[in-house]
C-alpha cells in the first residue's frame, strides 16, 4: 500500500495554527523536553518508520491474518521483526512517563504519530496503541511497585498491554460482568472468568502480555459500582523482574473478522490467574476510563488515518487514470485524467476537507489533554470531556464515508483487492463499533456532557471559539457568523431538551444527529482557524499551500457545512417518530 505521512500539514498545525512551542515552553514538565525542532524531527522519523517499515506489511498482513496454533497466536510474516524495530526505536513509549523510560512527548504531538501509524496499517498500529493505553492507566492509578515493575517493560515494547472489559453477556453494559477476583493473603488476587473481543489479547510480538481486567470481588456491590481493576500478566513476573511461570491466562480462540485481520482479536480465559489491584476497590471503571479516554481518541484517529490513506490513493489514481474523449485538458492521447470530472473532484475535496479539519480537532484534543495533565485547568477538563466522544464518533463515521468515497473514485477497480482501497473500507468499519459504539459516544456527548449544568462544557468551547474567531480576516466574516450562530443554536436546542416529557427517549432518538451537528460546527471553527493562520503566515508558507487551504475551506462551507442544518432539524424532530412504532411491527 502506498502511504506517505502528510508532514507539511502536521507541522503547519503544530507551528502555525496551534503555536505549540509557546504552550510547551509555558509548561515546566515539557519546556526542557520538546520544542518545535524536536517535534519536527520526531515527525520526520515517524514518517520514515511508518512509510518504510509499517506500510509494506499492510496488504500481506491482511491476506495472511493471525492464526491460533497449539494455543499460541501467530502474527503474519514480518510482524515480529518490524515490531521489534518499532519498539527499539522508542515509539511505544513516545508519550510515556520519563521517570519509567518513556519519552514524555506531549499528546498533541502523539496524536499525529498515531495518525501515521493508522494510515500505514491499522492492524499493526493497534498493538502499540493498546500497550501505550495500558501503561497510561498503570501510571495514573497503579501502586509504585506496579509502576516500577511494569512500566519500563511496556514503554520499551518488550511487553505488550491489553484491555479486558467485554464478556459474552456484557458488552457495552458492564454491570453484567461475571469475572471474579478473590483476595489472597499476600495482597494479590486470583482472577477467574472469560473475556471476548480482546484486541491484542495474545500474540507473538512480545514475551509477555499485561492484561488490565475488570472483575468483581466476592462482596462487591451490584452494578458497575462493584467493578475493580486488576493487572494480570500472561506470564508471572518474579521479584527481580525476570519472567516466571505461566499465569493461567489462555487464548481460547481468535476471531475471524471483516477487517483488521492481522490484529489478534481474542477470547481470553483467566483460570485462577494471579492479579494485582490497580486503583481502589470497586473503583475499577474510573481507573479504566483513564485508558478509555486516550483509546477512544486513538480509535477516532484510526478513522482519520484511513481517510488520509484513501485520499492519497484516490488522488493518485484520479491523476493517472485516463477516460473519455478528451476535453482539451488531456495528455495528448485523446483522453483526460479523471481528475477533470466534477464528481471526482467533489469526492476528493470532500475527503480532504473533512480529513484536514479532523486532524486539527485531533491536535486540539491532544492540546486539551496536555493542559489537563500539566495544568489541571477546568477549561481543559471541559474541553476533554466534550471533545473525546466527539472525536471518536465523528472521525470514524466520516472516516468510513471518506474511504467509501475514495473507493468510488476507483470505480470498479476499487472493488477488487489488487488496488488496496477496499481494505481501508473493511478496516475502518470496526472503529465505529469498538471502544464504545458511536451511538454510545453520542449519548455521552449530549446526555452527560452538554445537558448537565446548563451546558457548561459547551459554553466553555463556545467562549474559546468566539474569542479565537475575532482575528479572522474580513473576507471570512460571513463564515464566522455562520459558525457562531451554529454554536448558539446547539446551546439553544440543548435547552429545549429539558422541557421534553420523555427526556431519556428524546436524547436516545436525537443524540447521533446532535453529535454530527456539533462535528460540523467544530470543523467550521477549525477551518477558519486554519485559514487565519495560513493567511497570517503566508510569507513563510508556499503560495500553493495557502491557496489550497483557502479553496478547501470554501468547499467545506459551501458543500458540507449545510449538513449542520439538516442534522439540527432531525434533532428537533419529535422523538415519537422514532419511539412510537410497537416492537412487534419492526
Q: Would you name the residues annotated as active-site residues?
A: 435
SS3 track for 189-245: EEEEEEEEEEECCCCCCCCEEEEEEEEECCCCCCHHHHEEEEEEECEEECCCCCEEE
Quote the cell numbers at residue 305: 488515518
Distance CA 292, CA 278 (A): 15
* Burial tier of 503 (Cβ tally within 10 Å: 0-12, 13-18, 19+): middle
Cα 403 to Cα 422: distance, rounded to the nearest angstrom? 8
Element (H, E) at 69: strand 67-69
Q: According to the 3-state scheme, what is the secondary structure of 404-421? A: HHHHHHCHHHHCCHHHCH
Enumerate long-range contacts of 544-552, CB under 8 Å, 24 or more apart: 545/8, 545/12, 552/349, 552/352, 552/353, 552/356, 552/527
Q: What is the DSSP letter of 336?
A: E
Residue with cell string 496524536: 111
DSSP class of residue 451 equals S
Which residues is 243 bridged to in the sheet? 237
**Do β-strands 265-278 and 189-199 pair in parallel, antiparallel, or remain unpaired?**
antiparallel
Q: Which residues contact 561 (CB under 8 A, 6 or more apart)?
A: 482, 520, 523, 524
Contact 357, 523 (CB under 8 A): yes
How far, rounded to the nearest angstrom, does the alpha carbon of residue 584 sit from its chain's CA centroid? 38
User: Is residue 476 within 8 Å of residue 531, measured between CB atoms?
Assistant: yes
> What is the Cα–Cα distance from 236 to 102, expressed in whole angstroms?
23
From 156, 162, 163, 158, select the one nearest 92 (Cα to Cα). Answer: 156
Query: What's the rounded Cα separation, in Å, for the pair 574 and 509?
Result: 9
Amino acid at each position: 500500500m502506498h502511504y506517505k505521512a502528510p508532514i507539511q500539514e502536521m507541522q503547519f498545525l503544530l507551528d502555525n495554527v496551534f503555536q505549540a512551542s509557546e504552550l510547551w515552553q509555558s509548561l515546566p514538565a515539557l519546556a526542557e523536553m520538546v520544542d518545535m525542532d524536536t517535534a519536527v524531527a520526531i515527525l520526520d522519523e515517524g514518517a520514515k518508520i511508518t512509510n518504510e517499515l509499517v506500510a509494506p506489511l499492510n496488504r500481506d498482513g491482511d491476506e495472511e491474518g493471525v492464526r491460533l496454533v497449539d494455543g499460541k497466536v501467530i502474527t503474519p510474516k514480518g510482524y515480529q521483526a518490524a515490531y521489534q524495530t518499532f519498539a527499539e526505536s522508542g515509539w511505544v513509549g513516545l508519550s510515556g512517563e520519563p521517570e519509567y523510560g518513556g519519552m514524555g512527548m506531549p499528546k498533541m504531538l502523539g496524536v499525529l504519530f498515531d495518525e501515521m501509524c493508522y494510515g500505514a496499517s491499522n492492524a499493526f498500529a493497534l498493538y502499540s496503541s493498546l500497550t501505550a493505553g495500558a501503561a497510561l492507566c498503570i501510571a495514573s492509578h497503579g501502586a509504585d511497585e506496579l509502576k516500577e515493575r511494569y512500566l519500563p517493560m511496556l514503554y520499551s515494547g518488550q511487553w505488550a498491554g491489553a484491555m479486558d472489559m467485554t464478556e459474552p453477556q456484557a458488552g457495552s453494559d458492564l454491570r453484567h460482568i461475571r469475572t471474579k477476583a478473590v483476595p489472597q493473603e499476600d495482597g494479590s488476587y486470583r482472577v477467574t472468568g472469560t473475556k471476548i473481543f480482546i484486541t491484542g489479547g495474545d500474540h507473538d510480538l512480545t514475551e509477555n502480555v499485561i492484561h488490565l481486567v475488570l472483575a468483581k470481588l466476592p462482596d462487591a456491590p451490584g452494578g458497575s459500582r462493584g467493578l475493580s481493576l486488576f493487572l494480570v500478566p500472561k506470564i508471572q513476573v518474579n521479584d527481580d523482574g525476570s519472567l516466571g511461570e505461566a499465569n493461567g491466562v489462555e487464548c481460547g480462540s481468535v476471531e475471524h473478522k471483516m477487517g483488521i485481520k492481522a490484529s489478534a482479536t481474542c477470547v481470553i480465559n483467566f483460570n485462577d490467574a494471579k492479579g494485582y489491584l490497580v486503583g481502589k476497590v470497586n473503583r475499577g471503571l474510573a481507573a479504566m476510563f483513564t485508558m478509555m479516554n486516550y483509546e477512544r481518541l486513538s480509535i477516532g484517529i484510526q478513522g482519520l488515518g484511513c481517510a488520509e490513506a484513501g485520499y492519497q490513493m484516490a488522488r493518485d489514481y484520479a491523476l493517472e487514470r485516463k477516460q473519455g474523449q478528451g476535453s482539451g485538458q488531456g495528455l495528448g492521447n485523446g483522453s483526460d485524467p479523471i481528475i477533470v470530472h466534477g464528481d471526482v473532484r467533489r469526492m476528493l475535496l470532500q475527503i480532504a476537507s473533512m480529513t484536514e479539519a479532523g486532524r486539527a480537532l485531533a491536535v486540539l484534543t491532544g492540546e486539551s489533554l496536555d493542559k489537563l495533565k500539566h495544568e489541571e485547568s477546568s477549561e481543559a477538563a471541559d474541553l476533554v470531556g466534550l471533545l473525546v466522544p466527539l472525536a471518536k464518533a465523528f472521525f470514524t463515521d466520516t472516516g468510513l464515508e471518506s474511504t467509501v468515497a475514495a473507493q468510488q473514485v476507483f470505480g470498479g477497480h476499487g472493488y477488487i483487492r489488487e488496488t488496496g482501497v477496499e481494505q481501508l473500507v473493511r478496516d475502518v468499519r470496526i472503529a465505529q463499533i469498538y471502544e464504545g459504539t458511536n451511538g454510545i459516544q453520542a449519548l455521552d456527548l449530549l446526555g452527560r456532557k452538554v445537558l448537565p449544568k446548563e451546558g457548561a462544557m459547551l459554553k466553555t468551547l463556545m467562549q474559546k471559539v468566539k474569542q479565537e474567531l475575532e482575528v479572522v480576516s474580513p473576507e471570512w466574516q460571513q463564515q464566522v457568523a455562520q459558525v457562531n450562530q451554529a454554536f448558539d443554536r446547539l446551546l439553544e436546542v440543548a435547552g429545549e431538551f429539558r422541557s421534553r416529557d420523555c427526556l431519556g427517549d428524546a436524547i436516545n432518538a436525537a443524540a447521533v444527529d446532535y453529535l454530527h451537528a456539533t462535528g460540523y460546527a467544530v470543523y467550521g471553527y477549525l477551518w477558519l482557524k486554519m485559514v487565519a493562520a495560513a493567511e497570517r503566515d503566508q510569507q513563510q508558507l508556499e503560495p500553493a499551500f495557502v491557496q489550497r487551504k483557502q479553496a478547501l475551506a470554501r468547499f467545506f462551507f459551501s458543500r458540507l457545512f449545510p449538513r449542520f442544518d439538516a442534522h439540527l432539524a432531525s434533532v428537533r424532530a419529535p422523538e415519537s417518530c422514532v419511539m412510537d412504532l410497537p416492537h412487534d411491527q419492526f
